[in-house]
Amino acid sequence: MNLLETKRLAAFYGDFQALYGMDVRLDKGETLAVIGANGAGKTTLLRTLCGMIPAQEAQQVYFQGKPVGRLPTHELTAMGIAMIPEGRKLFPSLNVEENLLMGAYVRRPGPWTLEAVYRMFPVLETFRARPATLLSGGQQQMVAIGRALMSNPAVLLCDEISLGLAPVIVKEVYKAIPTIRDQGVSLILVEQDIHQALAVSNRMICLCEGRIVLEGPADAYTQDQIANAYFGVKKP
């Protein structure tokens, strides 16, 4: 049984259809990279998986074998699906530690505690009493990752966690992924940085205009094949 699965998933913004009949699966312990150009449907997919956008039918999304496509975000978080949103979305009125503790409100049991997050990102313990939005961009991203982990998820949805960060900081953030995976968390990575995403993933899917146009093991395709799928170039 797949940990997380979609079946003919469709998603809409009002009358505009953003996803078309999408079949996605995530196995336990796996990291899945989701790539594609802007507007391809990557963020919409994550928002649908975490309940921010309801699927058309409950049976279009399954988590641990149960249909969850119409459940709201807070129920899915309590079940074990957490999301790191694009742009981090930290609480500006709270300090670093308070932001982290907000992720623990569902009280799911598991290995992720303040101490565990501070071990992974020691700089956050140093700045634990500082307003979170006064940190550097990379440090804010660490807070966003830690906040999501504090809910002790089974699935972590990562939306553009390298966006706007210097390359050296991206490498530091991505060093955390093996540690997260070793704690039994499965990940879906939405990324513009294709090489970085594929380097840490088991499988990949490429989206174009709300549809999957390429999928397979992370190392199965050439750069040309990925680029053609990414930009919607059809074979002659």
pLDDT of residue 193: 85
User: pLDDT (tens digit, 9 = 90+) per residue, 153-204?
Assistant: 999 999 999 988 888 888 888 999 999 999 999 999 998 888 989 999 999 9
- Those residues whose C-beta lies under 8 Å from the C-beta of residue 14, and which sit 6 or more positions away, are none
The answer to whether residue 69 is domain-embedded is yes
**Residues of the domain holding 9:** 4-89+150-230
**Does 105 fall in a domain?**
no
pLDDT of residue 235: 57
In a domain, 29, yes or no: yes
**25 contacts 5 by C-beta, under 8 angstroms:** yes
- Report the mean per-residue pLDDT for the chain: 94
21-59 pLDDT, tens digit per residue, is 999 999 999 999 999 999 999 999 999 999 999 999 999
Domain count, the chain: 1
Q: Which CATH number is 58's domain given?
A: 3.40.50.300
Q: End-to-end CA distance of the chain: give it in Å, rounded.
A: 38
Confidence band, pLDDT 50/70/90 cuts, at residue 232: confident
Is 119 inside any structural domain? no
Nearest to 188 by CA among 176, 200, 171, 172: 200
Domain assignment of residue 138, yes or no: no
